[in-house]
Amino acid sequence: MRSSGPVHKACACLVDRHGRLLVFDHPHDGGMQLPKGTVEPGEAPHDAVRRELLEESGIVYDGVLQPLGTMDRECEAGVEGNVHRHAQLWHVYLMRTDGAGSALPESFEHTASGSPEEDGLVFRFSWLAPDAPLDGFAEPYRRAIAMVRTALAGPPTGSVR
């Protein structure tokens, strides 16, 4: 039986000045991922995406968030530590490292915090080139990356406030 609605997730798509996307290897989920997690009760997705990026990568992001939209996902039981099949609604945000925050290393490790399922896990981060193949990414991450690539290829959005 389903709950009262989908589980809301916030997905952080951090790109550097070269258009590369921050990704990581999740040691227990067997593949490459983007920082994302559950929007907590009473929390707005735009606040959750900043928190999730911090918990999973150690990066404090206080820049502009560009909402890329939402995507539906049916999460099967036994995937990503989930016991029951359930609907998810991913809120996908583009974040840019332009300016002072653009000096992130080519690769780094971070010990995750904030989630009982991930506390203490070491995530290995790297940058995915704009034209790199998406081998090793599960379907929902491929969809989110496609949203990022479309946004980056489009006309400049101008000033966003």
- Alpha helix ranges (H) inside 1-160: 45-57, 139-153
Structural domain count, the chain: 1
Contact 81, 117 (CB under 8 A): yes
Percent of the chain with pLDDT over 90: 63
Tell me the three state secondary structure of residue 27: coil
Which domain covers residue 40, as residue numbers? 7-153
Question: 38 CB contacts (<8 Å, ≥6 apart)?
Answer: 7, 8, 9, 10, 48
Is the residue at 133 inside a domain?
Answer: yes
Is the residue at 160 inside a domain?
Answer: no
pLDDT digits (tens, 9 = 90+) for 53-67: 999 999 999 999 999
| Statement: residue 46 has pLDDT above 90 | yes
For residue 2, the model assigns a pLDDT of 45
pLDDT digits (tens, 9 = 90+) for 98-130: 754 457 899 999 999 988 878 889 999 999 999
More confident residue, 159 or 21: 21
Is the residue at 41 inside a domain?
Answer: yes
Is the residue at 161 inside a domain?
Answer: no
More confident residue, 45 or 84: 45
For residue 81, the model assigns a pLDDT of 56
Q: What are the tokens at 100?
A: 């002072």
Is the residue at 158 inside a domain?
Answer: no
On average, the pLDDT of the chain sits at 87
Is the residue at 118 inside a domain?
Answer: yes
Is the residue at 1 inside a domain?
Answer: no
Is the residue at 159 inside a domain?
Answer: no
| Statement: residue 79 has pLDDT above 70 | no
For residue 1, the model assigns a pLDDT of 39
For residue 30, the model assigns a pLDDT of 73
Pairing of the two strands 21-26 and 122-128: antiparallel
pLDDT digits (tens, 9 = 90+) for 122-150: 999 999 999 999 999 998 999 999 999 99
More confident residue, 154 or 69: 69
Q: Which domain CATH number covers 34?
A: 3.90.79.10
For residue 84, the model assigns a pLDDT of 67
Q: For residues 111 and 17, give the distance between their C-alpha atoms in angstroms, rounded to a whole number.
A: 25
Tell me the three state secondary structure of residue 77: coil
pLDDT digits (tens, 9 = 90+) for 87-98: 889 999 999 987
Cβ count near 156 (within 10 Å)? 5
Q: For residues 50 and 53, give the distance between their C-alpha atoms in angstroms, rounded to a whole number.
A: 5
